[in-house]
Amino acid sequence: MDNLKKIGLTALAGSLAAVSANAAEMSVSGATLLTYTSEDPTEATGNPYGMKTNLAFTASGDVNGYTVSYYQFSADQFAGMSSASLSVDMGDLGVIGFDQGTGRSGLSTIDDKTPTAAEEIWDGLDTTTSGRVGAGNAGAIGYDKTFGATAFTASYLNQGGGTNSDGATTQGTAGSSWDFAVTQDLGDGFVGGAGYGVIGAASGTNVNTDDSEHMTAFVNYTFGMVTAGYQLSEQNNGAQGGSDQQGKQWGIAVNVNDDLSVSYGQRDVEFAKASAAHVTEKTTGIAVAYTMGSIKIAGNMNDGKALGGTAGADDEMTEIALSFAF
């Protein structure tokens, strides 16, 4: 009799699982990207051709009166799960979610809001983190809420976070961190935003090590076919002897027509070193993109000087990309 009961319960559980699955709608989208990349003369380019295939799985459905959504992004021909997120829409109370690398919430959502036709002006250079704010999004708890034309987003990382599988833990390299960002449609073509965050110092570090502060603010203005933007960022490093960073950047993008767009941008990041001369990293980039339905051809040329606040650490990169969306 016990065996019959177990069989009955197993069958019922399978039936319930099937009903729950039917409550959600799953969609799949993807893209294939072919690239030609040229590095600076000091680096060996070798074979300059590359390829990446992306697949994105999205599911959303009603669960006990709440809209529950799941997103998974897989890159490079099923090399593994690159990122995923799970969120619950609570209506007027906002959206709460768990992030494993998608960057859906918090300060990092506005770390670079200057307009560009393709990639950011730091993309592909030897150092890509200078002047960028936020504690990261691997293993982050996020919250998002919209109030009319104002959007609020916040993120929390427990003990430095980490991308864990179920039942696993990570020994973080930093303390617990939190941050938030607010963006606002200001009207008349203006959109602005600002954010602030604190990255906790790792436990057991030097007693003179404090939490680090991150902050940024931006404004973009669109008039006709032109969008121009300006952004300020600051990192106050709590580590003893660490370098603070103050960044300023601007960019302008022009939609020549419905298919063609071009952009140019500049960024300066000053590294305020505690016991050495200050060094300013300078980055410039130009980009162009042409779209034909689901096919896009894009190119960008980025150049950086004194990358990472190190004098003489220069780099440049040129990339041409052909993408097919499906």
- Residue 207: band (very low, low, confident or very high) from pLDDT cuts 50, 70, 90: low
State the Cα torsion 236-239-241-245 to the nearest 10°: -20
- Residue 147: band (very low, low, confident or very high) from pLDDT cuts 50, 70, 90: very high
Average pLDDT over residues 193-206: 81
Average pLDDT over residues 33-61: 84
3-class secondary structure, 169: coil
Q: Which domains does the chain have, with CATH numbers?
A: 24-164+172-325 (2.40.160.10)
Structure tokens at 225: 């076919």
**Which tens digit of pLDDT belongs to each residue from 239-266?**
766 789 999 999 999 999 999 999 999 9
Q: How far is residue 18 CA from its own chain's centroid?
A: 35
- Residue 206: band (very low, low, confident or very high) from pLDDT cuts 50, 70, 90: low
User: Taking the model in full, what pTM does it have?
Assistant: 0.83
Round to whole Å and give the CA distance between 36 and 47: 9
Round to whole Å and give the CA distance between 301 and 122: 10
| Amino acid in the structure at residue 260 | L
- Residue 10: band (very low, low, confident or very high) from pLDDT cuts 50, 70, 90: very low
- Residue 20: band (very low, low, confident or very high) from pLDDT cuts 50, 70, 90: very low
Does pLDDT of 160 surpass 90? no
Residues 6+ positions from 4 with CB-CB distance below 8 Å:
none
- Residue 105: band (very low, low, confident or very high) from pLDDT cuts 50, 70, 90: very high
Round to whole Å and give the CA distance between 308 and 289: 28
Which pLDDT belongs to residue 202?
72
Which pLDDT belongs to residue 268?
97
